[in-house]
Amino acid sequence: MGTDIHLAAEARDDEGNWVFVPGPVFDCWACDGTGMKTTWEERTKVHSTTEVCRWCCTTPEDEDDLFDRQYTARKYVSPGKVRDSWYSDRNYVVFAILGNVRNGHGFAGVYTHDPLPFISDGRGVPDDATPGALAWLSSEHSATWCSLAEIMDYPWRAPIHRGGVITIQQYARLRGTGDAPGNWCGGIDGRGIMTVTPRAADAILALHPLALTAGSEPTSPFRDDSEPIEGIRYYVNYEWDTTLADTTQHFLDRMKMLAMEVGEHECRLIMDFDS
């Protein structure tokens, strides 16, 4: 089970009042900015020119489902466009730093990285939060807030030690390099699956050098289509070092966008999480 963040931004106006800061506007993810209904797999327009994209062209009044009304009320901007949250990626390093959530562990306590110093921990939702900000929250758990200044002052260039489970084929390409894998997971089990240490993986690779299949890295350890070794798919507990900035680049890019939006005004981010 994963955890997601629900985050909103507010800034003080010239009179000192908190004002909701809407997120950035992008081309609609569903129709690629066309405003027309598309096929899900190919992102191409359907033949009929009368069918519009339900994600960016549907007004709240046109939706019957309550969830869709709430969703489109927040997202709807204009045909072909959507208004995004300032940040919504599932990045547990960001969650750890902002609110001490999933700090060093994932689902069922699997190791993800060494615990990190955090900015806030359960500060709650400010009493003077704006209705616009409250609409973005899930009201589930770990509600907190932090200022944009606190985020900008955090030591993002600091190192971080991380870990995860990768396929033995990925490990064969990475061992000795110290490089981060392109993708990994916290843990995996199932019939015909075995997770081993790097030392055990070295022994397996020495005995079965021809079992490694060439080709591209799997899009996810959960979608490993490599050949099993004597009927077993091996996975390896792999660890590596990187920097916080490399791990959280998209978040930092969004915070730079927010800083440009609010200028010199005081700004805070209110957030909670769902699992």
The answer to whether residues 32 and 139 belong to one domain is no
The answer to whether residues 175 and 235 belong to one domain is yes
The answer to whether residues 167 and 105 belong to one domain is no
The answer to whether residues 118 and 133 belong to one domain is yes
The answer to whether residues 36 and 103 belong to one domain is no
The answer to whether residues 68 and 119 belong to one domain is no
The answer to whether residues 64 and 152 belong to one domain is no
The answer to whether residues 14 and 120 belong to one domain is yes
The answer to whether residues 54 and 77 belong to one domain is yes
The answer to whether residues 10 and 31 belong to one domain is no
The answer to whether residues 150 and 254 belong to one domain is yes
Give me the tens of pLDDT residue by residue for the chain, a chain 275 residues long. 689 999 999 999 999 999 999 999 999 888 888 888 877 656 666 555 567 887 787 766 655 554 555 566 667 778 888 888 899 999 999 999 999 999 988 776 788 899 999 999 999 999 999 998 998 899 899 999 999 999 999 999 999 999 999 999 889 989 989 899 988 888 888 888 999 999 999 999 998 876 665 445 665 666 666 667 878 889 999 999 999 999 999 999 999 999 999 999 999 999 999 98
Which of 34, 49, 83 is the last residue before a domain boundary?
83
Which of 38, 63, 83 is the last residue before a domain boundary?
83
Which of 83, 106, 121 is the last residue before a domain boundary?
83
* Residue 151: other Cβ atoms inside 10 A: 21
Domain containing residue 64? 25-83
Domain count, the chain: 3
Model confidence over 179-225: pLDDT tens digits? 999 888 888 888 889 999 999 999 999 988 766 654 456 656 666 66
The answer to whether residues 19 and 141 belong to one domain is yes
